[in-house]
């Protein structure tokens, strides 16, 4: 089982394309949010969204515990990484998990790459592509996602998932 | 000695006891049972990161403080806050105010440091008069008046109105912020290791009252430099420190000679035979308690002074009373004029009343605009992650979604994604 610490942006990106539920269908993967990420859902609609995901078992909630993890989280926050991001990376480093990041070329991804290596970092497009390959999302539907994300301030560097299936 | 779970457990207990919080109160904040708190404090149950954050906040600390190599249980700002008479505030309100302000101060300093920029106008060092605490109202008021005179002299202000109080305080090394504070709290002052932090309440609707609150907190920085946390609450007005800071603010904003000069210029010269009396716990100079009718202070004089010095009508009235321009009878007459709206009408008729109104509590003001600019620049330079910037934006009152919209519009940190693992799960 591959455990992935997921942040707020990742959950929103899947929600924006109406496919948050796919997280519960990906055999071999378990998506976890730390309490810090859970707290970032403050609007009633967002709260309802994450509550549904937890209730349906698409994601689970976990907590940073113990001095070693607390010190690591403190160190990451001191590097000016957000609390939610720092919590995800702490869990990934400490427990051998993977982490999701949708913010390429920026501070967090550099820190994550140096601490857990690029192979343990995945993106929203990775998850969608995997779901397409497994027949959980039709590729025609997935090809509409980049435009939706673009409209929500998230630009991807490819035109369609079809071309990625090659 | 390296930090262990057992040491952390002991620190949590010491920190709780230092601020007089019960296990039951801590349990309520965490939403867990009292025995669970007990287990955390004996090391039988590991504390989670969010639990640590909440407990640290409850105990007047940053969670990182509890994880430092050195730990002093008596270093809590909350304990200092309570020591100056804040007990009458709800304990959770005290905790929330201290916690938020301390975090905002830290965030602002951190952003300034990340951008390698000096604070506005290059913060210098504030003049401390280090006046010993007093329980005597007379002495306290004299101390406030004298400190204002000395501070104006030190700053070379002469008798002129203070042009911009935020600029002035920032130039003295004082970080200032306008925040939504709980009802009844006008402002607070924290003396932090990296400099003083002063916050005033954004709920205050007029600029002159905000200026007075700012000058009042300035008084705390100068006169109560050894008090690590002070709160200005309407229930604390009888505290001598508050009276002292009030007098400082009045004398700083409305210097005696400046008031005299302005009134003389409109045919209201000062009277002779000044003496001081104490009345109902207040100290007043007595020039003439029965002025001739032609030199009696009128509502338009109050409005004129208020506009000239940027002070509220109320502050002007009390200042005129303390400078013996008003008898008790005159004061009551002008107070009635204020309450019936005469002063306000005069303001709008002869002066630009728009200048009096502060931005609404939901409108970004100067502090928020600068904070936002710092955040965007730190993002642009990649000195801070988007998540961290969002945490800070939310801390000062921005909505996270609105903030992301601003980030997007500004184009400083576009979020870009790609396929990282094309064969994930295969």
pLDDT interval class at A153 (50, 70, 90) = confident
State whether residue A10 is helix, strand or coil. Answer: helix
> In the predicted model, what is the mean pLDDT of residues A141-157?
91
Does B131 fall in a domain? no
- CA dist B256 and B281 (Å) reads 21
The candidate with the shortest Cα–Cα distance to B15, out of B47, B35, B402, is: B47
- CA dist B379 and B387 (Å) reads 10
Q: Which two tokens stand for residue B251?
A: 């004398």
CA neighbours within 13 Å on the CB side: how many for B98?
30
> What is the percent of chain B with per-residue pLDDT over 90, rounded to a whole number?
39
DSSP string, B342-372: HHHHHHHHHS-GGGTBPPPTTS--HHHHHHH
Q: In the predicted model, is pLDDT for residue B291 greater than 90?
A: no
Q: Which residue has the higher pLDDT, B69 or A99?
A: A99
- CA dist B94 and B99 (Å) reads 8
Instruction: Let me know whether B331 and B398 are in one domain.
Output: no
pLDDT interval class at B95 (50, 70, 90) = confident
The verdict on a CB contact (< 8 Å) between A28 and B425 is yes
Distances A10 to A112, A141, A149, B59 between C-alpha atoms, Å: 15, 18, 11, 34
State the Cα angle at B317 between B312 and B320, rounded to 5°: 125
Q: In the predicted model, is pLDDT for residue B41 greater than 70?
A: yes
The candidate with the shortest Cα–Cα distance to B320, out of B284, B356, B351, is: B284
For chain B positions 343-402, those within 8 Å of chain A (CB to CB) are: 378, 382-391, 400-401
Highest mean pLDDT range out of B16-25, B48-57, B176-185, B365-374? Answer: B48-57
Query: Interface pTM (ipTM) of the complex?
Result: 0.90
Q: For residue B179, what pLDDT is reported?
A: 87
> In the predicted model, what is the mean pLDDT of residues B142-157?
92
Domain boundaries, chain A: 2-154
Q: For residue B293, what pLDDT is reported?
A: 64
The verdict on a CB contact (< 8 Å) between A108 and B385 is yes
Tally DSSP H helices, then E strands, for chain A: 10, 6
- CA dist B200 and B186 (Å) reads 6
Q: In the predicted model, is pLDDT for residue B164 greater than 60?
A: yes
Does B132 fall in a domain? no
Neighbours of B223 (CB within 10 A): 29
The verdict on a CB contact (< 8 Å) between A107 and B382 is yes
- CA dist B309 and B256 (Å) reads 12
Q: What is the pLDDT of residues A58-74, one digit of tens each?
A: 999 999 999 999 999 99
**How high does pLDDT run on average in chain B?**
83
Lowest mean pLDDT among A20-24, B119-123, B266-270, B308-312: B119-123
pLDDT interval class at A105 (50, 70, 90) = low
Q: In the predicted model, is pLDDT for residue B290 greater than 50?
A: no
State the Cα angle at B201 between B88 and B156, rounded to 5°: 110
The verdict on a CB contact (< 8 Å) between A82 and B418 is no
- CA dist A118 and A114 (Å) reads 8
CA neighbours within 13 Å on the CB side: how many for A93?
20
pLDDT interval class at B62 (50, 70, 90) = confident
Domain containing B195 — which CATH number?
1.10.10.2910
pLDDT interval class at B123 (50, 70, 90) = very low
pLDDT interval class at B292 (50, 70, 90) = low
State whether residue B279 is helix, strand or coil. Answer: strand
Neighbours of B329 (CB within 10 A): 10
Q: In the predicted model, is pLDDT for residue B286 greater than 60?
A: no
pLDDT interval class at B419 (50, 70, 90) = confident
- CA dist B171 and B122 (Å) reads 6
Residue B385 has its nearest CB partner, among A26, A71, A82, at A82
Range of the domain at B216: 137-253
Residue B15, C-beta contacts closer than 8 angstroms, at least 6 positions apart: B55, B56, B59, B61, B66, B73, B76
pLDDT interval class at B183 (50, 70, 90) = confident
Q: For residue B36, what pLDDT is reported?
A: 94
Q: In the predicted model, is pLDDT for residue B121 greater than 50?
A: no
Does B120 fall in a domain? no
H or E stretch including A18? none
Does B179 fall in a domain? yes
Instruction: Let me know whether B249 and B307 are in one domain.
Output: no
H or E stretch including B409? helix B400-410
Lowest mean pLDDT among B93-97, B186-190, B214-218, B414-418: B93-97
Lowest mean pLDDT among B10-24, B65-79, B212-226, B313-327: B65-79
Q: For residue A142, what pLDDT is reported?
A: 95
B55/A contact by beta carbon, under 8 A: no
What are the φ and ψ backbone dihedral angles of B270, each rounded to 5 degrees?
-70, 160
Q: In the predicted model, is pLDDT for residue B184 greater than 50?
A: yes
> In the predicted model, what is the mean pLDDT of residues B47-68?
90
**Using the 8-state DSSP alphabet, how is residue B119 labeled?**
P
Residue A107 has its nearest CB partner, among B110, B385, B417, at B385
Instruction: Let me know whether B166 and B271 are in one domain.
Output: no
- CA dist B30 and B51 (Å) reads 6
Q: For residue B191, what pLDDT is reported?
A: 86
Q: For residue B205, what pLDDT is reported?
A: 78
Q: What is the pLDDT of residues B234-279, one digit of tens each?
A: 777 778 888 999 999 999 999 999 999 999 999 888 765 555 555 5
Does B424 fall in a domain? no
Instruction: Let me know whether B20 and B65 are in one domain.
Output: yes
- CA dist B35 and B29 (Å) reads 14
Fold of A2-154: Rossmann fold (3.40.50)
- CA dist B176 and B171 (Å) reads 11
Q: In the predicted model, is pLDDT for residue B232 greater than 80?
A: yes
Residue B131, C-beta contacts closer than 8 angstroms, at least 6 positions apart: B143, B147, B223, B244
Q: What is the pLDDT of residues A27-42, one digit of tens each?
A: 999 999 999 999 999 8
pLDDT interval class at B408 (50, 70, 90) = confident
**CA distance, residue B332 to nearest chain A CA (Å):** 50
The verdict on a CB contact (< 8 Å) between A106 and B64 is no
Does B426 fall in a domain? no
> In the predicted model, what is the mean pLDDT of residues A98-112?
86
Instruction: Let me know whether B56 and B144 are in one domain.
Output: no
Domain containing B22 — which CATH number?
1.10.260.40
Q: For residue B84, what pLDDT is reported?
A: 52
Give helix B299-309 / helix B256-265 axis angle, nearest 10°: 130
Last residue of a domain, one of B324, B340, B356: B340
Neighbours of B283 (CB within 10 A): 19
Does B308 fall in a domain? yes
Lowest mean pLDDT among B81-85, B250-254, B300-304, B320-324: B81-85
- CA dist B199 and B221 (Å) reads 12
**Residue indicated by tokens 């210097």:** B255
Q: In the predicted model, is pLDDT for residue B87 greater than 70?
A: no
Count the domains in chain B.
4
Last residue of a domain, one of B198, B220, B253: B253
The candidate with the shortest Cα–Cα distance to A34, out of B243, B51, B402, is: B51
State the Cα angle at B255 between B252 and B258, rounded to 5°: 145
The verdict on a CB contact (< 8 Å) between A124 and B417 is yes
For chain B positions 106-135, those within 8 Å of chain A (CB to CB) are: 110, 114
- CA dist B390 and B209 (Å) reads 31
The candidate with the shortest Cα–Cα distance to B244, out of B134, B141, B127, is: B141
Q: For residue B229, what pLDDT is reported?
A: 81
Q: What is the pLDDT of residues B336-368, one digit of tens each?
A: 999 999 998 888 877 665 555 656 656 667 888
State the Cα angle at B350 between B345 and B351, rounded to 5°: 95
**Residue indicated by tokens 């101390």:** B143
Q: Backbone dihedral region of A91: left (phi > 0), alpha (psi from -120 to 50 degrees) or beta? A: alpha
> In the predicted model, what is the mean pLDDT of residues B155-177?
89
> In the predicted model, what is the mean pLDDT of residues B379-400?
91
Q: Which two tokens stand for residue A40?
A: 């970032």
Q: What is the pLDDT of residues A83-97, one digit of tens each?
A: 999 999 999 999 999
State the Cα angle at B368 between B367 and B370, rounded to 5°: 70
> In the predicted model, what is the mean pLDDT of residues A131-152?
94
The candidate with the shortest Cα–Cα distance to A97, out of A120, A127, A68, is: A120
Chain B residues with beta carbon closer than 8 angstroms to that of A134: 425
């Amino acid at each position: 089982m591959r455990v992935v610490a997921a942040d707020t942006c990742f959950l929103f990106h899947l929600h924006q394309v109406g496919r948050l539920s796919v997280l519960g269908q990906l055999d071999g993967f378990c998506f976890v949010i730390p309490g810090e990420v859970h707290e970032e859902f403050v609007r009633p609609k967002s709260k309802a969204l994450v509550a549904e995901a937890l209730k349906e078992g698409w994601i689970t909630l976990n907590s940073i515990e113990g001095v070693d993890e607390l010190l690591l989280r403190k160190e990451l926050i001191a590097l000016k990484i957000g609390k939610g991001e720092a919590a995800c990376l702490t869990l990934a480093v400490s427990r051998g998990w993977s982490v999701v990041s949708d913010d390429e070329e920026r501070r967090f991804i550099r820190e994550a790459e140096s601490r857990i290596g690029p192979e343990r970092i995945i993106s929203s497009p990775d998850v969608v592509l995997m779901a397409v390959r497994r027949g959980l999302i039709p590729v025609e539907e997935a090809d509409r996602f980049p435009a939706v994300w673009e409209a929500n301030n998230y630009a991807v560097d490819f035109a369609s998932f079809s071309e990625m299936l090659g | 000695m390296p930090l262990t779970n057992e040491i952390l457990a002991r620190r949590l207990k010491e920190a709780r006891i230092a601020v007089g919080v019960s296990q039951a109160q801590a349990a309520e904040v965490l939403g867990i049972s009292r025995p669970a708190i007990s287990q955390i404090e004996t090391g039988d149950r590991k504390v989670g990161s969010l639990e640590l954050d909440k407990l640290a906040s409850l105990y007047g600390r940053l969670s990182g403080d509890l994880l430092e190599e050195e730990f002093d249980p008596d270093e809590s700002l909350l304990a200092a806050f309570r020591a100056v008479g804040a007990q009458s505030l709800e304990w959770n309100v005290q905790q929330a105010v201290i916690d938020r302000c301390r975090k905002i101060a830290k965030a602002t300093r951190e952003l300034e440091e990340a951008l390698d920029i000096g604070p506005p106008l290059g913060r210098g060092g504030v003049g401390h008069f280090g006046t010993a605490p007093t329980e005597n109202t007379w002495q306290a008021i004299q101390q406030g008046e004298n400190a204002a005179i000395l501070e104006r002299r030190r700053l070379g202000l002469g008798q002129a109105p203070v042009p911009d109080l935020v600029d002035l305080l920032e130039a003295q090394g004082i970080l200032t912020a306008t925040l939504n504070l709980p009802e009844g709290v006008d402002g607070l002052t924290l003396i932090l290791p990296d400099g003083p932090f002063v916050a005033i309440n954004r709920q205050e609707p007029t600029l002159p009252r905000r200026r007075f609150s700012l000058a009042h907190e300035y008084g705390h920085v100068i006169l109560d430099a050894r008090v690590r946390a002070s709160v200005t609450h309407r229930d604390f007005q009888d505290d001598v420190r508050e009276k002292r800071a009030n007098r400082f603010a009045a004398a700083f904003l409305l210097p005696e000679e400046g008031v005299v000069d302005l009134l003389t210029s409109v045919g209201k010269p000062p009277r002779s035979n000044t003496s001081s009396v104490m009345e109902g716990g207040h100290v007043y100079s007595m020039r003439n308690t029965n002025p001739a009718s032609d030199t009696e202070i009128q509502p338009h004089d109050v409005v004129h002074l208020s506009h000239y010095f940027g002070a509220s009508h109320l502050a002007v009235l009390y200042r005129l009373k303390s400078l013996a321009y008003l008898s008790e009878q005159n004061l009551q007459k002008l107070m009635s004029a204020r309450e019936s709206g005469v002063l306000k009408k005069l303001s709008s008729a002869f002066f630009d009343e728009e200048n009096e109104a502060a931005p609404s509590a939901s409108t970004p003001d100067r502090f928020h605009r600068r904070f936002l600019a710092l955040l965007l620049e730190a993002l642009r330079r990649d000195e801070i992650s988007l998540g961290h910037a969002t945490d800070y934006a939310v801390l000062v009152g921005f909505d996270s979604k609105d903030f992301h919209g601003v980030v997007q519009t500004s184009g400083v940190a576009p979020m870009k994604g790609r396929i990282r693992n094309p064969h994930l799960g295969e």
